[in-house]
Amino acid sequence: MTEQGKIPIQNIYYLLCYAWNRLEERDIVDVAGINSTNLTDLFARVLIGGVNHLLKRGFDRGYVENVEDTKCLRGKLLFNSTVKRNLLIKAQVTCNFDELTYNVLHNQILKATIGSLICIDNLDSDLKIQLIGFYRKLNEIKEIRLTPECFSRVQLNRNNAFYDFLLKICELIYDNLLVSEDPGKSKFRDFLQDESKMAQLFEDFVRNFFKLEAVDYHVGREDILWYAKALDDPSAALLPKMITDISIEGDDSKVVVDTKYYREAFQKNYDQEKIHSQHIFQIFAYLKNLERRGGINRYCTGVLLYPTVDKDIHFCTMLDPKHKLVVHTLNLDQNWKLIHNDLIQLLETSHEECRNTIKRSPS
C-alpha cells in the first residue's frame, strides 16, 4: 500500500462498518458528501448521527445500585450500617436500592467521548457546535474519565445493540487521542499510518465483506494441520500454526485468500517489481497441506490480495498442476460501489479459475 492517506474517509467508514459487522448502522450517517479529509470530522459526524438516532428512539436506561441515607425506607434496609452510624436518632436509615437511570456506563462513555472530541484542535467548527449542544443535553449522565477497562466492562443486549457500533467508534477515538500540552486541547493520531492496525482492519473488512455478500459460499478462517511428523514433543511444539485469513468454500470449488497490507505491495529487484517471495511460500504451504484432505481441497486456488491507491494489478499463475495463484490489488481510492464490484468480481473469477483447474486435472 502506498500513501495510505489517499484513502477517502468515506471508504474508511465503510471499511469499519464491514470489519465490525455493523452494516445495519451504515446508513445512519450520510458520508457521501463529506469533503473533509480529517478523520476526526468523520467520527464526529458518526457520533452526531448516532446521538440523533438515540434521541429519536430514546437513550438506553438501566438499573444502577445505590446506597443512601434516607428518611423513607426504600429497597433493602442495611441495619448494621444504620446502627453503627447512629442514624436512628436522626430518623434516618441506610438503604440499598436499584434505580432505573440513564446514567449507565455506555451512556457515560458516549458523553466522555463527545467531550474529548470537542477539545480536538482541528475539528470542524460546525461539528464542534453540534457536539457541544449534545453534550449539554446529556446533563443527567455522570462525567467519567475514560480508561481501557471502561470499554471492557460494557454489557449490551439485543435491545441496545445499536450502542455497539458507537462504542467501537468511541474506543477508536480513545486509542488514538493525544493530550496536548495546552489545557483543554487534544490531537488525534492518524491510525491510517499504523501499518499493523490497518492490516488487521483490511483483513477483517475483506472477511466480513465476503461473509455478508457471498451468501452462496461458506466463509471463515480455517486451521490447517501440517502433514509433517515431528520426531519428539519439543520439535512438534515449534511448528507454527497455519490459520488462513479467509477460506471461501463453494459446492465445487475452494479459494484461500491471504490479505497483505504493506506500504510497498511489491518488492523491487533491479527496478522491476516482484511479489514478495515469502507471501508466495506462505500461501503455497496452505494449499499443499490442504491438498492432503482430499475433495475440493486438492485443487484450491490461492489469492494474494493487496490494497492500493494508485495502480491496479491482476494476474494468475500455476504454482503446480493442482493450484493456481491469483494476485490482485484492490484500489481503495475509488467510489465505494466500484470497490464492492471489484471484490465480487474477484470472488467469481477466483472460483472459476479453481473450477477450470479441476476440469483440466486428471481424476
pTM over 0.85: no
The candidate with the shortest Cα–Cα distance to 202, out of 217, 191, 213, is: 191
* pLDDT tens-digit series, residues 10-63: 889 899 999 998 887 777 777 766 666 688 888 998 899 889 989 888 899 888
Q: Residue 295's CB: how many other CB atoms inside 10 A?
A: 10
pLDDT value of residue 5: 47
pLDDT value of residue 356: 87
Most distant pair of Cα atoms in the chain: their distance = 96
Distance (Å, rounded) from C-alpha 342 to C-alpha 308? Answer: 13
pLDDT over threshold 50, residue 270: yes
Backbone angles phi, psi at 223, to 5 degrees: -85, 135
* pLDDT tens-digit series, residues 190-239: 777 788 888 999 999 999 999 999 999 999 999 998 887 777 777 777 88
User: What band does 2 get if pLDDT is binned at 50, 70 and 90?
Assistant: very low
* pLDDT tens-digit series, residues 117-136: 998 888 889 999 999 999 99
Helices (H), the chain: 9-19, 39-57, 79-84, 105-118, 125-137, 148-153, 162-175, 195-213, 233-238, 277-291, 336-360
Contact 100, 80 (CB under 8 A): no
The candidate with the shortest Cα–Cα distance to 264, out of 56, 30, 2, is: 2
Comparison of pLDDT for 110 and 101, the residue scoring more: 110
